[in-house]
Amino acid sequence: MGRFWISCRIALFLLMLMLGASACEQDGTGERVVQQKISPTPSTEVKKAGEAEEKIKIGFSMDTLLEERWLKDRDLFKKEVEALGAEIEIMAASGDDALQISQAETLIDEGVDLLVVVPHNAEAIAAIVHKAHKAGIKVIAYDRLIKNADVDLYVSFDNEKVGELQAKAMTRLVPEGNYVYIGGADTDNNAHLLKKGVFNVLQPFIDSGKITVAYDQWTKDWSPASAEENMMDALEANGGRIDAVIAANDATAAGVIKALEAKGLAGEIPVAGQDAELAGVRSIVEGTQTMTVYKPIKLLTKESAELVVRLAKGGSVETEQKINNGKVEVPAVLLPPVAVDKANIEDTIIADGFHSKKDVYGSEER
């Protein structure tokens, strides 16, 4: 609390006495604006200035906003947090570890009540958890786990299940043959969980000799361009004899499809993705992508906002699951993902308003 706040509170107290209602606001740079409405208080119950209720402030440190899904996360999470009467300050680091750490430090120094983090690098961000805890601030890992740190809570989808849904759909379609696995970013714990899920399903097929994994590679920073290069390598190394591709998300699947297009194979080789991004869903409609996994972001943001605000107010959260992050068993809330292909686009993502029918099919008529 700076001197400004102390004088602001005194002013607030005096105003409350005079008017029974007040507002307190600082602008300066325009970045730290706090408004506080105080309802009229009967004179017998006038609170001391220090007792006036302050708004909870949440800091949200994001890896990036350069992908469709994270814009949804940002907008919906902000809405949900604000609907619960709290404030939120959001910073995004465009995939830069050093920048994400310094942004999170800024949020801690500003005195947020709780820090929510989508880490770019699951390991590098651990230092921030220690720093936040020293300042008495709890840290929630949002969508991606933070490794090797005393994280207070992890809220995400069941990422292992996402991989299982992809591999189940693909093995149903292609029970034998040469598979390519285009993974996510090695630095993102989700990429490891997704891969684990995929191989949980593929392993019996591999053991029986029905499926061969002809190529298996991570994708640096989830970049579609790297995924495209990797898919080119996979095709060249196997003389084009690939029967199915599982890509860790729709963006990497788009890179895969570009490589297939260059070889005249788009639509010939089944491709799985994840996220139900608009471009991915359109590729499913066109037939160049086979399936995606839909994760209702609205549900994730609603659930997270409720838990986060409860924790920020000093409340506690009990979870049924825990996930080991290399240091502790982190209490975890893992929401269920949904497999989507041509047959259930309308019943899932369109019914939920995730994308409109017009955006998916180009018109309301079908």
In the complex, minimum distance from the CB of residue 103 to ligand BGC, in angstroms, rounded to a whole number: 17
Half-sphere exposure of 115 (CA within 13 A, CB side): 33
Question: Under the criterion CB under 6 A, does residue 120 sit at the interface with ligand BGC?
Answer: no
Q: DSSP character for 326? A: S
Contacting ligand BGC (CB under 6 A), which of 9, 57, 69, 161?
Answer: 69
Geometric angle at alpha carbon 107, from 105 and 112, rounded to 5°: 130
DSSP notation for 170-223: HHHH-SSEEEEEE---TTSHHHHHHHHHHHHHHHHHHHTTSEEEEEEE--GGG-
Give me the least distance between CB of 218 and ligand BGC, in Å please: 12
164 binds ligand BGC (CB under 6 A): no
Is 161 near ligand BGC (CB under 6 A)? no
Among 155, 154, 101, which Cα is nearest to 132's?
Answer: 101
Residues in region 262-281 near ligand BGC by CB under 6 A: 275
Amino acid at 306: E
Q: Is 190 in the site for ligand BGC (CB under 6 A)?
A: yes
Could you say whether residue 73 binds ligand BGC (CB under 6 A)?
no
Question: 178 vs 292, which CB is nearer to ligand BGC?
Answer: 292
Cα-based distances in Å from 60 to 295, 310, 337: 20, 16, 23
Decide: is 87 part of the binding site for ligand BGC (CB under 6 A): no
Question: Contact, 339 vs 293, CB < 8 A?
Answer: yes
Choose between 218 and 222: whose C-beta lies nearer to ligand BGC.
222
Give the separation between CA 146 and CA 133, rounded to whole angstroms. 14
The residue among 152 and 188 lying less far from ligand BGC, judged by its C-beta, is 188
Judged by CB under 6 A, does residue 160 bind ligand BGC? Answer: no
Under the binding rule (CB under 6 A), the answer on residue 67 touching ligand BGC is yes
Q: Does 143 bind ligand BGC (CB under 6 A)?
A: yes
**Contacting positions for ligand BGC (CB under 6 A):** 67, 69, 143-144, 184, 188, 190, 222, 249, 275
